[in-house]
Structure formats: structure tokens, C-alpha cells
Amino acid sequence: MLIKKSLTIKKHRTSLSLEKEFWDALKIIAKEQKCSMENLVAQIDTSRKASLASSIRVYLLKFYMKD
């Protein structure tokens, strides 16, 4: 089930739909990196080559695969 949240990225308001597990993972990584979830999403946004939601999913997959 998708959960839709609104975020501000670089002073631009946007909505993003992700599954709960992806929201949870973003929250954990942001906490580990001592940044806000919005800042983490903004970092992902700068290097994306697909939709933001897809780019976040790929980022999280790669993040957890490196361990």
C-alpha cells in the first residue's frame, strides 16, 4: 500500500508516494546521517535519472546491498 507524503525539496513542495517500508528506511538512513528526510530526498533528487519515487527505491536498495 502506498503512503503519500508532501515534502519540500529545494523550496519546492512536492508529493511522493512510497510503500511504508521505504518511508521507514528513509527515516532510518536520515537519522544515521544526521540529516532530515527532506535533505536526504533532495540529495537523491540531484542525481536521479528516473522518477523520484523510483530513484529513492534504487538508492535504498543500493544502500542496503553495500553492507
DSSP-H helix ranges across the chain: 20-32, 37-46, 52-65
pTM beyond 0.75: yes
Res 55 pLDDT > 90:
yes
Res 27 pLDDT > 90:
yes
User: What is the pLDDT averaged over residues 43-63?
Assistant: 94
Res 66 pLDDT > 90:
no
C-alpha cell at position 41:
530526498
Res 45 pLDDT > 90:
yes
Res 67 pLDDT > 70:
no
